[in-house]
Chain A
């Protein structure tokens, strides 16, 4: 009897990473590192957690997941991030 009971939907943690949401993008954020002050506001304000700190303290975007919302560009105090229309 008990073997027939459904244990519910159990899934692996963090498994949404198989879904590459980068394909949703219309505008692509591009860094101009010469203006960057490494404040990290872009990394903090990314809803996709797809801005990653590099070894030299700058930031880079994981375009596999970036949906191109533009919050990083809007929040950047030094206008380091430019949003350009993506052509695929």
Chain B
């Protein structure tokens, strides 16, 4: 007998220590049952809805990678046309591949049209569902199956795409970045985003035990390290102005974060590893400086 009162039910097939399951749980906890969720293909969709089962205790629809935001727009428009929009929240929850790479055109269109919905990107920094291929969210120097580190390469050559800034450029009234390691912060931001009228965007950093290569018990710890090293700045941007920044009390060196994961392990053995770590530290310092963390 299932005893939980959570809207995201147990029994789903997420890995032990899954970040997406945590993200889904926090989002539903924050928004409540009066919401409609759209999820494109990805880890979250695959493990939460193995046919004929569903872990979602709210209305939920599966879309393609590329039309998540379009499906959410359609739901919003339909509810409005039927006069049933009331205070029903519409939430699209995509992974980094679905958001940053494949779905960005549909997402851009939906934000341009100004539909009243919230898009949440759960960013675990690669295509984890299909076996850790590089995405636009993969950070600099991380090894993935399509950017393997070896004699000819140190891993991913390009820096992570700054998706929140892209969404901000659409004139969104609310753009926020958060992490599953800070549940209260995340729940507050997701709730606020759904309450604001217009297209709002929340980008959630989510450490993936399988793809990043760390023990399942460290999911939240790794998320916290990303924030404490300033590699993942958490902030709120309302109508174009930064209105809230998560201040770091004890800033930690990036080595601590990198050392804990297999995808950065090569940086500690290859000849020019120290130089690459220095570059990653520069990225963190730039964040700290830019956003006054």
Q: Which residues of A contact B (CB under 8 A)?
A: 9, 11-21, 24-25, 44-45, 47-50, 52, 62, 64-65, 67-71, 73-75, 83
Contact = CB atoms under 8 A, between A and B. Distances in A.
Given A14-B55, A16-B50, A52-B4, 8 more contacts: A9-B51, A19-B13, A44-B183, A45-B220, A67-B17, A69-B18, A71-B217, A74-B218
Contact of B9 (A16, A64, A74, A75): A16
A19 B14 CA distance: 12
Interface in B229-271: none
A45 B182 CA distance: 10
Given A13-B58, A44-B183, A68 B53 contact: no
Instruction: Report whether over half of chain B's contact residues are helix, strand or loop; otherwise say mixed.
Output: loop
A77 B134 CA distance: 35
Contacts of B48: 16
A74 B2 contact: no
B30 to A, nearest CB: 12
Contacts of B22: 45, 47
Contacts of A49: 4, 6, 8-10, 25
Contact of A16 (B55, B216, B218, B220): B55
Contact of B217 (A44, A50, A74): A74
Contacts of A64: 1-2, 10
Interface in B18-63: 18-19, 21-22, 25, 48-58, 60
A12 B11 CA distance: 14
A24 B60 CA distance: 27
Given A14-B55, A49-B6, A65-B10, A70 B216 contact: yes
B21 A62 contact: no
Contacts of A68: 16
A14 B240 CA distance: 38
A62 B9 CA distance: 12
A11 B52 contact: yes
A11 B55 contact: no
A18 B55 CA distance: 10
B25 A14 contact: no
Contacts of A19: 11-13, 50, 53
Contact of B219 (A17, A25, A71): A71
B112 interface: no
A17 B2 CA distance: 7
A9 B62 CA distance: 10
Could you say which of A13, A18, A47, A68 has the most chain B C-beta atoms within 10 Å of its C-beta? Answer: A47
